[in-house]
Each structure stands twice: as C-alpha cells, then as structure tokens.
Amino acid sequence: MKTKEVLILPGDGIGPEVCHEAKKVLEHINDTKDLGITISESAVGGCAFEEFGNPLPEKTLKLAQRSDAILLGAVGGPSWDNLDYDLRPERALLGLRSELDLFANLRPAILSKYLSDSSSLKPEKVLDLDMLIVRELTGGIYFGEPRGRSDTNESAFNTMVYSKNEIERIGRVAFEAAQKRNKKLCSVDKANVLEVSVLWREVISDLADEYPDVHLSHMLVDNAAMQLVREPKQFDVIVTGNLFGDILSDIAAMLTGSIGMLPSASLNSKNQGLYEPVHGSAPDIAGKGLANPIAAILSVAMMLKYSFSLNEASSDIEIAIQEVLSEGYITHDLEGNNNKKLSTSEMGNKIIEKLI
Ligand code: NAD
C-alpha cells in the first residue's frame, strides 16, 4: 500500500493555532475512516530560526523530502523582519518550493452560500462561486535569466521564459483538474504581445487533443482580470503562468470575502504536495484565539483529494464546514451574528462534531 506520511509545519504567528485545529480534523478522519495516515511535525520559519539559526533546518527539509504531503501554517512576523534576506522566515517557503520542485499551485476560490455578504461583489454575482486557478509556480519571469541592471544602472531587466516542457506539465495538471470538475479550462496569457505566450498557447492547444472531454478556451490576461470581477462564475479552471497567476489569484481571493477561508496546494510531478492556507501569520491576532482555522482545515481536504485520492474523506470535511456555516457559526473575521462567533478551537471542534 502507498505510504501516506504527512508532515505538519505549524510555523509562526497564527500558524500553530490553525494547524492545531487542522491536525485535530485530520486525526479524527484518519481514525474514523482508518485512512492509514501517519503524522509528524517539525519547525519552520521564524521559530526554526530561533531554535536552529535557520528558517529551513536540514532536519525539516529531509522530513519534507521524505513525506507524501506537507501541511504548513504560516511563516514570518515582525521579530524577523530585519534579518538578512537568506535568514528570513519566508525563505523557508521558497526553499521548500524549489527543493521539492512544487511547480503547480492550485488555488480554489469558493464562496460558501452562507457567506455571500462577505464578498466585495454583489451577492448574486458570486453566489455559489466555485473556481480553481492553476498557477505555474517555479518558472516564468520570477526566475528567468538574464535579470539585473545595466552597467550604468540606468535600466533594469527580467526575462520571461517558459520551455515547452514547463508549459506541458502545468497544462496537464490543469486539464486533469478540469476533468475532475466541470470540464472547462481557460488558459490565460498575453499572446497578442509576448512571444512566450504564443508558445504557451500552442502547447496548451496541442495538449487539448489528449483531453477531448475538456472544453478549452484562451483569454488575454487583461480581459481575464476584468472578467473575474465582471462575471466570475463563467470560470471553472484557469491555467496561467507565474506572474499572471500571482495577480489573478489575489483578485479571485477577494471575491470570496475572508482570507481566512482560502486553502491552496502546491504540487510536484510525483504528486507530493505542500498544502497551506493562503493567509499569513497574522501577528495582530496571534495567540488570541481569533484566527479562522477553516483555510487550514480546507487545506487538509485538498491534501486528501490531490495527494491521496481520498475524495470521499475530502468532501466529508468540506460538507462538515458548510453545515457549521449554515447554522450561522462563524469566526471573528466573518460578518454575521456576534452571538455565534467562535474561537479558533471552538470552530475546529464544531467541524469535528459534524464529521461524526
Ligand atoms: P496576513 O495574511 O498574515 O494578515 C492580513 C490580515 O488578515 C490581518 O488583519 C490578519 O489578522 C487577517 N487574517 C489573516 N489570516 C486570518 C485568519 N486565519 N483568521 C482571521 N483573520 C486573518 O498578512 P500580513 O499581515 O501581510 O502578513 C503578516 C506576516 O505573515 C508577514 O510576516 C508576512 O511576511 C507573512 N506571510 C506569510 C505567508 C505564508 O506563510 N504563506 C503569506 C503571507 C504573509
């Protein structure tokens, strides 16, 4: 039987608080459904720097390489803002992404019908919104060479480069994700201006022959940004490069209201995955029991689905969360009845109650 080793990296700020609740949910579903998952924990980020002088200690990296899936809370905080670039907590995240070659970033933007008042768009525009952005994470203009300054320091340059292989592998992740959803894929590029986008469009179009059940369309990134706020429900899966995906996924995140609700996955070609809430370490509310643990718990649901193909267990968690929200229970970041506002651990417990 395939191993199911999960490494939890709680990190800093609210990371340990939300990971604690996510771990409770994972342990509960593992026990009741006998999923055979083993769980270990290690240090990452600012707390790892304090203990080991390194935000990504060797021991943590080795455990990460050996594990099948990683759940990360969040890293960073004001205590470490003045450290040298290489010692900053955020370097641990970049280190994990590059060491594990986590090239595919999956960010669902789902709006619970019980929270449509929390969105920045009118409720009818976002009611039942359920889309997925697949962003290429290890290539494109963020990594392309050459980059730098001219000799006279009068100009600066970066290079947007994608190989056919890089486009093909992210394309496959997106087509396969679309197959598991509503079978609609929109590839976003800037093919009217950029040569790299012309290649992107060619490679994605060629791949479409292998996925005849998926309807493929192409859209220019400026139009995609507009369409996301005009009519977001037209999208099922979007696939795009690193820079465009960075921007579009933040637009999509705002459509769903609170950052405390959004999970993400970063996958490599061996289906190893790093799962994490989209939010950061929220130092302003850390240690107060105010953090919403739902993004971390939904990250566990994504892990069960994408790393272990445990689709039923994954949707059990999603359904339990919807049930809790349908009864009006919320956390402090969400709009609603003050009498039903739960602390971080109360929310975790409520979700577990619904799983029984
Ligand atoms: P943030 O996401 O930590 O917080 C932004 C705002 O959202 C804050 O008001 C915070 O209280 C609130 N918030 C965030 N998550 C919440 C949750 N689960 N429940 C309720 N409210 C929540 O972003 P920031 O303030 O810009 O960054 C704080 C630190 O986190 C910085 O050091 C930054 O570098 C780091 N960061 C880490 C990651 C990561 O680990 N992946 C991502 C983003 C930022």
Mind spelling out the 3-state secondary structure of 47-85? Answer: HHHHHHCCCCCHHHHHHHHHCCEEEEEECCCHHHCCCCH
> Which of 259, 266, 298 has most ligand 1 atoms within 8 Å of its beta carbon, as the pocket-test mutant?
259
Give the pLDDT score at 26.
Answer: 98
Task: Report pTM.
Answer: 0.91
| Among 33, 183, 233, 246, the one annotated catalytic | 246
Nearest atom (ligand 1) to Cα of 332: 20
- 77 Cβ inside 6 Å of ligand 1: yes
**CA-to-CA dists, residue 27 to 40, 272, 303, angstroms:** 11, 20, 13
- 281 Cβ inside 6 Å of ligand 1: yes
By CB atoms closer than 10 A (0-12, 13-18, 19+), residue 341 is: middle
Q: In whole angstroms, what is the distance from residue 136 CA to residue 166 CA?
A: 8
279 CA distance to ligand 1 centroid (A)? 5
What are the tens digits of pLDDT across the range 133-157?
Answer: 999 999 999 989 999 999 999 999 9
Tell me the average pLDDT of the chain.
95
- 260 Cβ inside 6 Å of ligand 1: yes
At residue 118 the predicted structure's pLDDT band, cuts being 50, 70 and 90, is: confident
Respond yes or no: is residue 250 known to be catalytic: yes
The Cα diameter of the chain in Å comes to: 67
At residue 119 the predicted structure's pLDDT band, cuts being 50, 70 and 90, is: confident
At residue 317 the predicted structure's pLDDT band, cuts being 50, 70 and 90, is: very high
The Cβ of residue 269 has, within 10 Å, a number of other Cβ atoms equal to 12
> Which of 279, 333, 344 has most ligand 1 atoms within 8 Å of its beta carbon, as the pocket-test mutant?
279
Respond yes or no: is residue 341 known to be catalytic: no
280 CA distance to ligand 1 centroid (A)? 3
For 196-205, what is the mean pLDDT?
98
Residue 75 has pLDDT above 70, yes or no: yes
At residue 165 the predicted structure's pLDDT band, cuts being 50, 70 and 90, is: very high
Enumerate residues 6+ apart whose C-beta is below 8 A from 328. 114, 336, 337, 340
Residue 67 has pLDDT above 90, yes or no: yes
Query: CA triplet 180, 274, 348: central angle to 5 degrees?
Result: 85
Respond yes or no: is residue 316 known to be catalytic: no
| Among 250, 270, 284, 288, the one annotated catalytic | 250
As given in the structure block, the two tokens for residue 66 are 């050996």
258 CA distance to ligand 1 centroid (A)? 11
Check residues 90 and 271 and name the one with the higher pLDDT: 90
255 CA distance to ligand 1 centroid (A)? 17
> Which of 281, 299, 345 has most ligand 1 atoms within 8 Å of its beta carbon, as the pocket-test mutant?
281
282 CA distance to ligand 1 centroid (A)? 4
218 bridge partner residues: 187
| Among 222, 270, 284, 340, the one annotated catalytic | 222
- Give the sign of the dihedral formed by CA 211, CA 303, CA 7, CA 296: positive
78 CA distance to ligand 1 centroid (A)? 12
Give the pLDDT score at 1.
Answer: 60
Residue nearest to atom 27 of ligand 1 (CA): 280
- 118 Cβ inside 6 Å of ligand 1: no
